[in-house]
Amino acid sequence: MLNSSISTPLTNAAIRLEYSAQTGLHSRRDWIKGLGLGATAGAFGMLSRAEAFAADVTAKAEKGSAPLRITQVRAFAMRPARVNLIVVTVDTSEPGLFGLGCATYTQRPAPVLAAVNEYLDPFARNRDADNIEDLWQNAYTSSYWRNGPVLNNALSGLDMALWDIKGKRAGMPVYQLLGGKCRFAVDCYSHASGRDLEEVEDSVRSKLEEGFRHVRIQMGNYGSEHLSKQADFRDAGFGLPQDRLMDELPYIKATIKMFEHVRNVFGDGLELLHDVHERVEPRDAIRLLKELERYRPFFIEDPVAPEANDYFRQIRAATTVPIAMGELFNSPHEWVPLIKDRLVDFIRVHLSQTGGFSVARKIATLAEFFNVRSAWHGPGDLSPVGHAANLHLDLAIPNFGIQEFSAFNEATQEIFPGCPTVKNGYAYVNATPGWGVDFNEGAAKKYPIDKAERPHYWEPVRRRDGTAVRP
């Protein structure tokens, strides 16, 4: 069991000064500073609060306090809710002070574990935990090759843990380190789905009853696979029997009818979102968006694959439907052009996929100047630490848009005391120093990942002739 309690080091050594009333060589501030009382003295009225804190800071600087050293970096894998989660802990030279970060890459946990435990741990040991940016920049290039999901997630775990430590050392939630709140809580959207219109309607209604004002609607799985029937590739013996089928036309027609039905039932007050998940060709994506424009979506997510980013110029010219993009992005070469050319309305990166909190706050700042809002990826295969990082950034940035949020089951809450909570469609962080989330290592061991299980969720999806469907 790792304990997030903090024993903040104070300047306790008393410096004996010869104080002479006759000579007046030592001012009141010098005397207090010399005793090492600093802010404590201010509480007793010896100094003004400003003088007390200035004296305390000066005393510590003059005494040359030792850097906070990283002593160990460890990655832990667990599976409390049918998805693999990976978190990283960073231990420090101050007993009991550690940081917690998210490095979840649920489809490929083993290489992330290796990247953290075998490479980032020896790299980071004995380095100054306070110097987050320096650590990030040098860890980023330490493997020479970069901008990939495995190394980015591993680096994210280290980076987020350092921000957690920084907040604990400061005695503040991380959002306070960025300038404080821009909103009282974080508006979220939830997922509604069903195999037909009636099931979708019932699912949407349940989300409204929970207090959500924004709901993502899907007709079954991504691409409405259950509506496609002609799996000719199976008859030809192409691929494996479990490979799934999806044709574009049934999906496109069903999606348009779904938006029409939900709008007719619930009216214009409900904000509707939808995830294409890159499963149609760019031209068909443009046709779909033009048809959906009349139903005023809040946004349509990932209309094309990252490899087709150049199509966003045509999409932007063809329709006014707001676009969210970035869930699969690894590199600034992917998100910078879309932001600076105002080709998307919401940037939707997965924080750990980009390399961590340090990167995401820079993305948010870049996006602010181009009127692009945030919609960070917040799926079910994200640890509570990752969700907390999303929410702390959401609270602090002026260009927040919306936040995807997935609830935590009891097992996950057992492992991570202090999980973020949702009430009336708004998410709240545990406003204690750092992320506000703790880690129960003993509880995590009760839910090991299943290394023998195949990653069935991402089995190949094919057109009727066997052509692979992205993503």
pLDDT at position 431: 93
Range with the lowest mean pLDDT among 148-162, 223-237, 256-270, 454-468? 454-468
Instruction: Give 298's contacts (C-beta < 8 A, 6+ positions apart).
Output: 189, 214, 271, 272, 273, 322, 402
pLDDT at position 450: 78
- Convert the pLDDT of each residue in 71-109 to its tens digit: 999 999 999 998 999 999 999 999 999 999 999 998 899
CB crowding 231-241: b at 16 or more within 10 Å, else e: bebbeeeebee
Pick from 132, 107, 115, 104: which is nearest to 73 by CA? 115
d(CA 129, CA 134): 10
- Convert the pLDDT of each residue in 206-250 to its tens digit: 999 999 999 999 999 999 999 999 999 999 999 998 899 999 999
Q: How many residues does the chain have?
A: 471
d(CA 380, CA 219): 18
Q: Where are the beta strands (DSSP E) in 132-278?
A: 186-194, 214-219, 244-245, 271-275
Q: Where are the beta strands (DSSP E) in 10-49?
A: none
Q: What would the two tokens of residue 448 be? A: 């090991």
Domains delineated in the chain: 1-65 (no CATH), 70-172 (3.30.390.10), 177-435 (3.20.20.120)
Query: Which residues belong to the active site?
Result: 222, 277
Give the DSSP per-residue string, 147-188.
--HHHHHHHHHHHHHHHHHHHHHHTSBHHHHTTS-SSSSEEE
Cα 150 → chain centroid: 16
Is pLDDT of 455 > 50? yes
CA distances from 359 to 10, 190, 331 (A): 32, 25, 10
d(CA 118, CA 115): 6
Region of 127 on the Ramachandran plot (φ > 0 left; ψ -120 to 50 alpha; else beta): beta
- Convert the pLDDT of each residue in 335-356 to its tens digit: 999 999 999 999 999 999 999 9
Q: State whether residue 53 is helix, strand or coil.
A: helix
Residue pair 396/362 in contact by the 8 Å Cβ criterion: no
Range with the lowest mean pLDDT among 35-49, 279-293, 442-456? 35-49
Mean pLDDT of the chain: 88
Q: DSSP alpha helices (H): ranges in 267-331?
A: 282-292, 312-318
